[in-house]
Amino acid sequence: MSIEQLAETAQAMVAAGKGIIAIDESTTTIAKRFAGVGIENTEENRRAYRELLLATPNLSDYISGAILFDETLRQSTKAGVPFAKHMADHGIIPGIKVDKGPQPLAGFPGEVVTEGLDGLRARLEEYYKLGARFAKWRAVINISDDIPSGTCIEANSHALARYAALCQEQGLVPMVEPEVIMDGSHDIDTCFEVTEVTLRSLFGALYEHSVLLEGTILKASMVLPGTTAAEQASVEDVAAATLQCLKSTVPATLPGIVFLSGGQSDEDATAHLNAMNQMGPNPWPLSFSYGRAMQSAALKLWSQDLVNNYAKAQQTVYERAKANGLAALGQWKSAA
């Protein structure tokens, strides 16, 4: 894929009023989600659930792409159409999660570094042949009294940059995701500081590895107080702090930023995105790449009756996509 094609794909991923649905849960993670609602974790149930999401009628009205897990990229619809082809035929760009997950960072208790670089070039080449046109790699940055350390941030930024360079070599748009975790009692100012340092490190590493920013998408966490912080923040404060942090760290040449929901409620994730777009104009499109905030209501509904609630669950997916698509334009209105 040429430089122009990488840029074109990246721009399509953040098209006005559209975002990404993340359905890249590993087999272990989806087992936990299924167990929580009483669904047996079989390959067919996983396939059927992914088809429910990807075959939602008119999904491409508000969804530009979907991040898949390795198993899902190799699966097909009930009619035998490979998911990647079904997606492409319906105007949705196939993406693939390629990291192997976080592992303890030796010598630094409480910190992790994401693994998966070994053999990545060959895997990316195969994923492109299977139809993927973008990839995702997630780094995890925890906040506590003495962490994150500079070593942890640097190690994860380096891995993200190496991954991104390999993606572009194989014709895939890299989505880089340095997630600053919400868990903890830290205040919003601490989250701001950690997010700012992390993003500065990331874009420095991307530059050092000759990664083309015009063909890269940032998947960012919002600047939020910790889940157990004594003082929580208003929607407007979260939006303002997140924008300030991004504007001080993210180059304007980036095609767009998509946010992760990161444990927020469905409503909060949508409200925060909407507020940021209402505070615009911003240097880049701001959209979403939500997993649980797109799926949780539909999964709960489907679990109650896998046959008769299928269409109802799809309607829920569409409604969540629409709400977030409108929020990406700053046009969402809360039902409350």
Residue position matching structure tokens 């911003």: 282
Q: Residue 19: beta bridge partners?
A: 63
Establish whether the linkage from the previous residue to 281 is cis, with ω within 30° of 0.
yes
> Do 249 and 279 touch, CB atoms closer than 8 A?
no
Closest to 307 (Cα-Cα) out of 45, 109, 96: 45
Give the CA diameter of the chain: 53
What residues contact residue 77 under an 8 Å CB cut-off, 6+ apart?
51, 55, 83, 86
Please say if 85 is a catalytic residue.
Answer: no
Is residue 57 reached through a cis peptide bond, with omega within 30 degrees of 0 on the bond before it?
no
Single-letter amino acid, residue 1? M
Return d(Cα 150, Cα 169) in angstroms, integer: 29
8 assigned to active site: no
Q: Which of 85, 177, 214, 236 is catalytic?
A: 177
**Active-site choice (18, 97, 136, 219):** 219
| Alpha helical stretches, state H, the chain | 3-13, 27-37, 43-54, 70-73, 83-89, 120-129, 150-169, 188-208, 235-247, 266-278, 292-304, 310-327
Q: CA dist 262 to 33, 123, 289, 292, 294, Å?
A: 15, 27, 10, 8, 12
Residues annotated as catalytic (active site), given as ranges: 177, 219
